[in-house]
């Protein structure tokens, strides 16, 4: 099973940049999208079906043109869960889950902490999300949480850990939360297989950051520990340039 996660920074903008041609070539079984910035009725769903994804599920923010997540699949899931049922988490459209026969796949877009109010919201969301997942794992043990976590976990995951130590996305409290989340029963699939530095999934549009590979690894495929032995491949697809993020890919042995 091949799963891709991609923060597209606006699905309509990404479509104009050829993301569907890329998707056909990459050919994942499931793709998790974040930051779609669109409502379902603003999209021509037939183009996704033509690309091989007849099953598309969209969970948009209440605010138009903002946030939102989606899951596109080649096969029909057994069940789809929109949101978490927690209003303070769901009004911005940040979680959607598709249950298949052997695994459940979640697309997550964790808030960024761009100012003090948003940082407070981010920490509240992180706490609620951890509690939600602790309960969910009891009934859905084979869980994969793909998405933009807006956190660089370790110094290896960011181009300049010293200068960014007080910047949201690399704060000690955020990094500790990620460590604790992993210890609660998840594996960072990419780092499980790849210990090399300078591997990033997001670059600022400013100062030629992408060309100089001054990036951050914000996008993850976290696999619950019962699936650890099924991890076959986990890579960052940095050649895809439809967004300020790039996709991350996870392949599981069935």
Q: What is the CATH number of the domain that holds 37?
A: 3.60.10.10
Find the domain containing 189 and state its range: 2-252
What's the total number of domains in the chain? 1
Q: Among this protein's residues, is 148 annotated catalytic?
A: yes
* pLDDT at residue 200 in the model: 98
* pLDDT at residue 152 in the model: 98
Ordered strands of the 55-59 beta sheet: 55-59, 69-73, 30-34, 2-7, 248-252, 231-236
* pLDDT at residue 254 in the model: 79
pLDDT in tens, the chain (254 residues): 999 999 999 999 999 999 999 999 999 999 999 999 999 999 999 999 999 999 999 999 999 999 999 999 999 999 999 999 999 999 999 999 999 999 999 999 999 999 999 999 999 999 999 999 999 999 999 999 999 999 999 999 999 999 999 999 999 999 999 999 999 999 999 999 999 999 999 999 999 999 999 999 999 999 999 999 999 999 999 999 999 999 999 999 97
Could you give the CA distance from residue 135 to residue 169 in angstroms, rounded to a whole number? 26
- Per DSSP, the three-state class of 135 is helix
* pLDDT at residue 189 in the model: 98
Catalytic residue from among 148, 157, 188, 219: 148
């Amino acid at each position: 099973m091949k799963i891709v996660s991609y923060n597209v920074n606006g699905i309509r903008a990404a479509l104009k940049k050829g993301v569907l041609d890329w998707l056909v070539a990459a050919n994942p079984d499931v793709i998790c999208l974040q930051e779609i910035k669109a409502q379902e009725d603003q999209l021509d769903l037939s183009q996704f079906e033509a690309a091989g994804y007849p099953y598309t599920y969209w969970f948009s923010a209440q605010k138009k043109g903002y946030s939102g997540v989606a899951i596109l699949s080649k096969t029909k899931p057994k069940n789809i869960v929109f949101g978490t049922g927690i209003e303070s988490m769901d009004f911005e459209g940040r979680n959607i889950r598709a249950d298949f026969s052997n695994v459940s796949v979640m697309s997550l877009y964790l808030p960024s902490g761009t100012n003090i109010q948003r940082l407070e919201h981010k920490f509240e969301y992180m706490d609620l999300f951890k509690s939600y997942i602790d309960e969910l794992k009891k009934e859905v043990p084979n869980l994969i949480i793909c998405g933009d976590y807006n956190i660089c976990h370790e110094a290896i995951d960011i181009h300049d850990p010293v200068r960014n130590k007080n910047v949201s996305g690399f704060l000690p409290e955020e990094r500790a939360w990620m460590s604790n989340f992993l210890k609660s029963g998840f594996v960072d699939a990419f780092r499980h297989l790849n210990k090399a530095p300078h591997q990033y999934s997001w670059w600022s549009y400013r100062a030629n950051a992408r060309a100089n590979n001054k990036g951050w690894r914000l996008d993850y495929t976290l696999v619950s520990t019962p699936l650890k032995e099924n991890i076959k491949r986990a890579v960052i697809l940095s050649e895809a340039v439809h967004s300020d993020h790039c996709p991350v890919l996870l392949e599981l042995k069935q």
